[in-house]
Structure 1
Amino acid sequence: MNLLEAMKERHAVRNFTDEPLTAEHTSSLSNSVAKLNAAHGLALQLIHDVDDAFGGCPTHYGRFSGVHNLVALIGPDDADAPEHLDEIIGYAGEMLALEAVALGLDTSWVVLHETAEHEGAWTIADGQRMPAAIVLGHGARPGRAHRSKPAQELGLVASGIGSYDNAPEWFHAGIEAVMLAPSALGKQPVQFTLLDDGRTVQAEALDGVQAHLCLGIAKLHFELGAGTEHFTWAD
């Protein structure tokens, strides 16, 4: 299963069985964590096969059970611009979630409170923050597809393009991938605009809960759907 296929298969699962991860699962995920840490300057950490992967931390939203594995999404914080870390974490975390689905695992995003006061599950150094985590394992029951905003609310075009229907096929494919992206409370607080040159795409976070985290997730989906060879991101 490739990442595009995983994107279509991925649905949030919050209840897990006690079936452990295999050596293949942990090896593949550990390699991906190391690559993403190196590429983005993060401190992502895989926690697996423990009694309570949340380390006693309460969740921001949703009830979970049987959580024995997660990836703690940690990185260097910028007090003046916390949205920078949120967006990078969204992008890297969703990459890991899709790779886990491609390995046959179920996943869910989760935001935890009191992450600095956990029971030894992960390490947060001075100057670092943990905006979210990816829970993973074998789901007790399948997840369900979520509703999405219409494509023309998520994808806009500049006046020189004319209308959404006039946008190139790759832009439509990117927006269709964004429609599959998970978001906080399912609100999808993101918007993508194709500019007049027909190649540059502006991605924006709108008002909403964890909007920049959602933007990072959605940008990865757009890249996978559209193909990075077809466009460039606006500065």
Structure 2
Amino acid sequence: MEIFDAIKTRHSVRSYLNKPIPEQVVSQLQAEIDACNHEGGLQIQLITNEPKAFDGMMAHYGKFSGVQNYIALIGKKGGDLEEKLGYYGERIALKAQMLGLNTCWVALTFSKGITKKSCSINQGEKLVCVLSLGYGATQGVSHSSKPMESLCSVNGNMPEWFKQGMDAAMLAPTATNQQKFLITYVDDEAVLAKSLGGFYSKVDLGIVKYHFEAGAQSHSFSWR
């Protein structure tokens, strides 16, 4: 499966089968997590085979079931932490999709009770959110998107590479499907991405930027 195939087929899944993840798949996912931690200076952690992962209020209010694995998105506190974890977290989520797994972004407000038993959060670090992980009971469902013209700004004709980036960005998961971002074409070498506020919008912006890069991968540009 190629990256854009993963972008198109990945949907949020909250119910999982009682099916263990093979060690070979765990190893490949852990290798991707290690690479993201090294590149981003993060402490993202993979937790597997924890049957009580999303018990209690998590299962009731979040409507999760069968969750036995998750990825804790952790890093050093700082102004760019949420965006970085969104960017690298989505990279990991798409790798999981390519390995035949399903995921769901989970806000910290729902996950406060599940991590202290299994995660290592050092002084100066922060857990921002988690990704549930496993073999989904379904493959999830797609959600509607706002029109492209309301999510980006381009003066004149839209370059094909920018359009491909936007096609991918429009498929990015955002909190409550709010899509509160704006991507602006500056020139053929630069793109501006801005959060428009809202719940977890900095995490969302990181997710969107990873999607845009994946869609426009044949073109070299820098973020402004």
**TM-score surpassing 0.5?**
yes
Match of 1:225 among 205, 215, 221: 215
Give how far 1:20 is off.
0.5
Q: Measure the CA separation in 1 of the matches of 2:59 and 2:128.
A: 12
Aligned to 1:181: 172
C-alpha distance in 1 between matches for 2:60 and 2:90: 18
Q: SS of the residue aligned with 1:145?
A: coil
What amino acid sits opposite 1:214 in the alignment?
D
Output the CA distance in 2 between the equivalents of 1:56 and 1:38.
34
Q: How far is 1:199 from its partner?
A: 2.8
Q: Does 1:106 align with 2:136?
A: no
Where does 1:31-42 land on structure 2 (aligned, <5 Å)?
31-42=31-42
Q: What TM-score comes out, normalization by structure 1 length?
A: 0.89
Aligned partner of 1:215 in structure 2 is: 205
- Residues 57 and 40 (structure 1 numbering): CA distance in 2 closer, same or farther, change over 3 Å? farther
Alpha-carbon contact 1:55-1:120 (below 8 Å) kept: no
Go from structure 1 to structure 2 and tell me whether the alpha carbon gap of 1:87 and 1:61 turns closer, same or farther (over 3 Å shift).
Answer: farther
Structure 1: stretches of 5+ with no match in the other structure:
none
8 Å CA contact retained: 1:55, 1:119: no
Per-residue deviation, residues 153-188 of structure 1 (Å, max 9, x unmatched): 11111xxx32xxx11000011111011000000001
Q: Per-residue CA shift, 1:95-147, capped at 9, x if unaligned? A: 00000000011111111336488451211111111111111101112200011
| Residue of structure 1 equivalent to 2:66 | 66
Task: Provide the C-alpha distance between the structure 2 equivalents of 1:60 and 1:9, rounded to a whole number of angstroms.
Answer: 27
Letter in 2 for 1:5: D
Equivalent pairs counted in the alignment come to: 223
Q: Distance in 2 between matches of 1:51 and 1:24?
A: 20
The TM-score with structure 2 as length reference comes to: 0.93
The RMSD of aligned alpha carbons is 2.0
- Aligned to 1:25, what secondary structure does the other structure show? helix
User: Are residues 1:156 and 2:153 paired?
Assistant: yes
Match of 2:93 among 89, 92, 97: 97
Identify the residue that residue 202 of structure 1 maps to in structure 2.
192
Which amino acid counterpart does residue 107 of structure 2 have in structure 1?
V
Deviation at 1:42, TM superposition (A): 0.4
Whether 1:131 aligns to 2:95 is no
- Following superposition, the deviation at residue 56 of structure 1 comes to 6.4
The question of 1:88 aligning with 2:84 is answered: yes
Unaligned runs of 5+ in 2: none
Aligned to 2:181: 190
Q: CA offset at residue 43 of structure 1? A: 0.4
